[in-house]
Amino acid sequence: MEFSEHIKTANLEDVVLRQPLHPPSRGTLCITGHHLLFSDREEGCSRQVLLLLKNIDAIEKSTSGSSGTITIKCKDLRVLQLDIPGMEQCLNIAYSIETLSCLDCATEMYPFFYRPSDFGLQEQWGLSSPEKYYSQMKELHDKWRLSTVNRDYSVCPSYPPAVIVPKSINDDSLKKVAKFRQGGRFPVICYYHRKNGMVIMRSSQPLPGANRKRCKEDEDLLQAVIHDSDKGYIIDTRSSQQAMQALMTGGGFESKSCYSRWKRLHRQIERGKALQESLIKLVEACGDESHNMDRWLSKLENSKWLSHVQAALSTAGLLAECVERDGHSVLVHGSKGTDATLLISTLAQLIMDPCCRSLEGFLALLEREWVQAGHPFMQRCAHSAFSHARPQQESPVFLLLLDCVWQLWRQFPLAMGFSEALLLRLATEAYASNFGTFLCNSHQERWAQGVIKKTHCLFQTLLRPGERDQYCNPLYESTELAIWPSVHPQSLQLWRGFFLRWTQQTHHLAETQEKMRDMVIKWEKLALS
């Protein structure tokens, strides 16, 4: 496809750009297949704004007389305004932006065209995978094995080719278990707790349906996890009512009679459309400039976003409590096992495992638990809070994860090896990126589209020397202890850094982070000299 078909006006002079934190500026606007470029050449100093069209969530156009105004609302919550002379040009530009920002074919997207000069495509792609995790965790080798039953993605299309399962369960059994789980997502191990040998498993819901079907292999698999004497917990991220309802549509839960050694706990985590609506309401509240405190607090409450943060953190806390304190293995799932399930298992690992809290460790965790585990990034992040399009599969689950991680980071400012800037960068990249990391919905799709061969890896890039300094936490002092977050409402705050990112206030806080970094660097220099 030719992008030029969609570009009727490529260059335009005398455009006024208004953006937050900057005075308005006049310059040239340029639309390319993937970018909006604005350059202003006033008084010698030239400034450029380069915006990925993919980052644009919604545009609004208004015209008055012979000129028009386009308001651009981005997925990173920035709002820009372009004053364009000439009606026709204005409409042309708006058309191009509307069309090019909504391309839904992965290979047409910018990551396939992005070719930075300083490094080539042959660089290593990815940080972690179940294989790597298995080879690093020698303790696993006793009772667990790496299965390649899914090597051609036929058993579970959304799983990676290799997964870790109990040693005593063979591949044929796994195939049968997969048939008993939605989307074939049979229980796999995603975390091994070194301290006591307990594990976190994740899966999708079982499929007993209204007839209460059973699957012996599924029962055996879970039994194999806890051996004979022990018991285990299943954390279901739906309410018990929702789980009951799922029976009617062929889904369901692990009943007590069939899984006698497993204790089921229901903790409802909001997902899907409800979560998307929550984000929309919150962003709307943050944009309300009226100085009415009651209205703000009631809108904040009404958005329920912080309630979702609280629910996610407390469920993750519960999971970690089962593993770390009570010494039991846990299986976590909801219905599909690609959203809330990943959210909870990721947060629990951050709470318990110091290795996940370093910069590399955290990125590796994200790669394993989100990218490889089959979170459908493309569907979930197609649109953000401003879009007028009818919501389909969008849901800010990954953003909710980042918010929860930020809450942990704020409560334990020394325990995390990464900075708030990293979380902000990830929040932006998940929606619009130069890199292929968040493209597609599963490992299989990425493989089929050639993402790994033809795009660059975000995580590897973030770890390169120049970038890395920006994203590590100067105060980091690794601790072996679990970090138990407080989930009391007073301990949870609005993530100002993200939701109020384009206000002056956040600017001050960013400066403070800079100052902290400088202080520590100075101290380290002296201490080392």
Partner 1 sequence: MVSSVERPPTIPAGSQLILRCKDFRVYQILIPQERDCMDVHASLVRLSRPEKYSELYCMSFNPNVNKEEREDSWKLIDLMADYKRMGVPNNLWVSTAANSEYRVCDTYPSELFVPKSATPAIIVGSSRFRSRGRFPALSYFHQDTLAAVCRCSQPLSGFSGRCQEDEMMLQAVMKSNPGSEYIYVVDTRPKLNAMANRAAGKGYENEDHYTNIKLQFIGIENIHVMRSSQQKIIDVGEMRAPSMTDFLWGLENSGWLKHIKAVLDAGVFIARAVADEGVSVLVHCSDGWDRTAQACSVASILLDPFYRTLKGLMVLIERDWVSFGHKFSHRYAHLDGDPKEVSPVIDQFLECVWQLSEQFPCAFEFNERFLIAIHTQVYSCQYGTFLCNCQKERRDIRLHERSHSVWPQLWKDRAEYTNPLYKAEQSQSQGILRPNTTPYCFKMWKGLYNHMEKSTPPRQSPSDYLSTVKEETQQLEEELINHQERIAALMGKPITWEKIEVPRRRTSHLGQRHCGPDPPSTYTHPITSPTQDNGHALSSEPVNQEAQTKDPALSLPLGLHTHLKSQDPDDLSACSDLESGVADLSSRSSSGVDEGKDPNETASPPPDWKSKGNH
Binders in 386-445 for partner 1, by CB under 8 A? 411-415
Closest approach of partner 1 to the CB of residue 297, in Å = 4
Closest approach of partner 1 to the CB of residue 42, in Å = 22
Give the footprint of partner 1 on residues 323-342 (CB under 8 A): 324-326
Closest approach of partner 1 to the CB of residue 414, in Å = 5
Per rule CB under 8 A, is residue 294 in the interface with partner 1? yes
Site stretch for partner 1 (CB under 8 A), options 127-135, 270-278, 313-321, 461-469: 313-321
Nearest to 193 by CA among 330, 315, 313: 330
Distance of CA 358 to the CA centre of its chain: 18
Residue in the structure block whose two tokens are 């800010």: 396
Per rule CB under 8 A, is residue 125 in the interface with partner 1? no
DSSP 138: G
Instruction: State how far the Cα of 525 lies from the Cα of 476, in Å rounded to an integer.
Output: 16
Strand order in the sheet with 56-64: 47-52, 35-40, 25-31, 11-18, 79-85, 67-74, 56-64
Per rule CB under 8 A, is residue 322 in the interface with partner 1? yes
Per rule CB under 8 A, is residue 241 in the interface with partner 1? no
Instruction: State how far the Cα of 60 lies from the Cα of 509, in Å rounded to an integer.
Output: 31
Closer residue to partner 1 in complex, CB, 411/442: 411
Nearest to 54 by CA among 379, 351, 383, 310: 383
Per rule CB under 8 A, is residue 260 in the interface with partner 1? no
Per rule CB under 8 A, is residue 527 in the interface with partner 1? yes
SS3 of 244, please? helix
Per rule CB under 8 A, is residue 297 in the interface with partner 1? yes
Site stretch for partner 1 (CB under 8 A), options 27-35, 120-128, 454-462, 496-504: 496-504
Per rule CB under 8 A, is residue 266 in the interface with partner 1? yes
Phi and psi of 191, rounded to 5°?
-155, 135
Closer residue to partner 1 in complex, CB, 137/494: 494
Contacting residue, 49, 91, 146, 300, with partner 1 by CB under 8 A: 300
At 30, the amino acid letter reads C
Contacting residue, 482, 495, 498, 501, with partner 1 by CB under 8 A: 482
Phi and psi of 490, rounded to 5°?
-70, -20
Per rule CB under 8 A, is residue 47 in the interface with partner 1? no
Site stretch for partner 1 (CB under 8 A), options 105-113, 241-249, 261-269, 426-434: 261-269
Contacting residue, 91, 224, 265, 463, with partner 1 by CB under 8 A: 265
Contacting residue, 217, 218, 321, 403, with partner 1 by CB under 8 A: 321
Instruction: State how far the Cα of 315 lies from the Cα of 265, in Å rounded to an integer.
Output: 10
Per rule CB under 8 A, is residue 298 in the interface with partner 1? yes
Contacting residue, 315, 335, 387, 461, with partner 1 by CB under 8 A: 315
Task: Mention every residue, 6+ apart, whose C-beta is less than 8 A from residue 206.
Answer: 180, 181, 215, 218, 251, 252, 253, 254
Closer residue to partner 1 in complex, CB, 66/479: 479
Rg of the chain taking only CA atoms, in angstroms: 24
SS3 of 84, please? strand
Per rule CB under 8 A, is residue 23 in the interface with partner 1? no
Contacting residue, 236, 487, 497, 498, with partner 1 by CB under 8 A: 487
Task: Mention every residue, 6+ apart, whose C-beta is less than 8 A from residue 340.
Answer: 237, 269, 271, 312, 334, 397
Closer residue to partner 1 in complex, CB, 351/426: 351
Site stretch for partner 1 (CB under 8 A), options 72-80, 361-369, 449-457, 482-490: 482-490
Instruction: State how far the Cα of 106 lies from the Cα of 440, in Å rounded to an integer.
Output: 7
Site stretch for partner 1 (CB under 8 A), options 3-11, 128-136, 259-267, 336-344: 259-267
Per rule CB under 8 A, is residue 217 in the interface with partner 1? no
Per rule CB under 8 A, is residue 529 in the interface with partner 1? yes
Neighbours of 84 (CB within 10 A): 24
Contacting residue, 14, 123, 230, 511, with partner 1 by CB under 8 A: 511
Per rule CB under 8 A, is residue 523 in the interface with partner 1? yes
Closest approach of partner 1 to the CB of residue 49, in Å = 23
Contacting residue, 39, 71, 307, 379, with partner 1 by CB under 8 A: 307
Site stretch for partner 1 (CB under 8 A), options 50-58, 216-224, 381-389, 492-500: 492-500
Neighbours of 516 (CB within 10 A): 15
Closest approach of partner 1 to the CB of residue 79, in Å = 16
Please state the length of the chain.
Answer: 529
Nearest to 286 by CA among 306, 272, 264: 306
DSSP 355: G
At 483, the amino acid letter reads I
Q: Is 37 exposed, middle or buried (0-12, 13-18, 19+ CB in 10 A)?
A: middle
Total site size for partner 1, rule CB under 8 A: 72
CA distances from 84 to 31, 407, 456 (A): 13, 42, 35
Per rule CB under 8 A, is residue 475 in the interface with partner 1? yes
Instruction: State how far the Cα of 262 lies from the Cα of 215, in Å rounded to an integer.
Output: 15
Closer residue to partner 1 in complex, CB, 48/479: 479
In 6-66, beta strands by DSSP E: 11-18, 25-31, 35-40, 47-52, 56-64
Site stretch for partner 1 (CB under 8 A), options 47-55, 154-162, 375-383, 485-493: 485-493
